[in-house]
Amino acid sequence: MIDYYMELSELWIPVTIAAAALQCVRTALQRNLSGTMSAIGATYVRYLFGAPWAMAILVVLLLGTERAMPSLPASFFWWCLLGGSCQIVGTWLLLIAFRLRNFAVGTVFAKTETMQVALLGTIVLGETLGLMSWLGIVISLGGVFLLSLMPQAGSGWVGRLRDLSAPATRIGLASGFLFALCAVTIRAGALSLGNQDPLLRALIVLAVMSAIQTVLMTLYVVARERRQFALMLANAPKALLIGLTSIAGSMGWYLAMTLETPAKVQAVGQIELVFTVLVSRLAFGERPRLSELAGIALIVVGILALLAGR
């Protein structure tokens, strides 16, 4: 059993990279779907079509390995409710940001979650960072500011500074904060289950949080956007693929955050930026500017410094 835990704990880096790749694919699919559905509808499909898979995988694990279901404290459900709500709103904001700027930059703004999760992890979980890690945060923030100050046609420095208050910047940063808070609650929820098998804890958090998210979004869509159900049926193959990639990616994120601190996991997860630029070029025909690439490079350097300081 000790060897099992040691082997599992060493897998968090490749698991994180795989989760980042799946998240990039899922986000691209959602962006495509948001052209025919509302941002809420495109957000809803990831939970409606993903939650049943999470439940099924948990049941298979419990029955196939004869593991016992641990008792779930009240604090666990509160963490899942908070994290699930943050992820829903964060995803919705990210899809709105895509409509304001290109796919690559929209994701970069949301990726400030890595810096924000380091701060929240210190405050909420008491997982402090060293000087090198804080230096990495500052460098990464410089990359985000560079992206925020990209010049528009005919605009000077005044126009660039004005971009800091542009809707895309504010929405992207807000999305990043909510994703960061969600990451911290995933870790807190897993820790509240005690010293159980990390894989079991990760799947329990995933199944419960996905169920809560599905219920919340179903209530909202029934009350405010019933038309999305018809659109969902018309786009069933895409919706199913979004659900599958979403739950597969979430399994990776949840397991990694059960094994390691959210700041460290999110740092390695920045490889999604590379995947995002590739998707932006190949799938959507978008060509990032040199200033965008320089900003992404600064963010990556900062994240590497953060990781080295852990």
pLDDT in tens, 23-76: 888 877 877 776 788 878 878 888 888 898 899 999 988 887 777 888 889 999
Q: Is residue 43 part of a domain?
A: yes
100/240: higher pLDDT = 240
Q: How far separated are the first and last CA of the chain, in Å rounded?
A: 27
Which residues, 6 or more positions from 69, have their beta carbon under 8 angstroms from its beta carbon?
62, 204
Most confident by average pLDDT, 28-32, 87-91, 164-168: 87-91
Residue-wise burial string across 154-172, b where 16 or more C-beta atoms lie within 10 A, e elsewhere: eeeeeebeebeeeebbebb
Q: Is residue 159 part of a domain?
A: yes
Query: Would you say residue 283 has pLDDT above 70?
Result: no
- Average pLDDT rounded to a whole number, residues 117-130: 79
How many helices (H) does the chain have, and how many strands (E)? 16, 0
Domain limits at 122? Answer: 21-128+155-260
What pLDDT, on a 0 to 100 scale, did the predictor assign at position 225? 87
Query: Would you say residue 119 has pLDDT above 70?
Result: yes
Average pLDDT, the chain: 78
DSSP letter, residue 261: -
The count of domains in the chain is 1
What is the pTM assigned to this prediction?
A: 0.79
Q: Is residue 149 part of a domain?
A: no
Q: Is residue 212 part of a domain?
A: yes
pLDDT in tens, 173-197: 788 889 889 989 999 999 898 877 8
Query: Would you say residue 125 has pLDDT above 90?
Result: no
Q: Is residue 250 part of a domain?
A: yes
Q: Is residue 283 part of a domain?
A: no
**CA–CA gap between residue 49 and residue 236 (Å, rounded):** 10
**CA–CA gap between residue 87 and residue 75 (Å, rounded):** 18
Between CA 225 and CA 60, with CA 214 as vertex, the angle to 5 degrees is: 150
Q: Is residue 294 part of a domain?
A: no
Query: Would you say residue 164 has pLDDT above 90?
Result: no
Quickly list DSSP for 73-138. Answer: -HHHHHHHHHHHHHHHHHHHHHHHHHHHS-HHHHHHHHTTHHHHHHHHIIIII-----HHHHHHHH
What pLDDT, on a 0 to 100 scale, did the predictor assign at position 109? 65
Element containing residue 187 per DSSP (H, E): helix 167-191
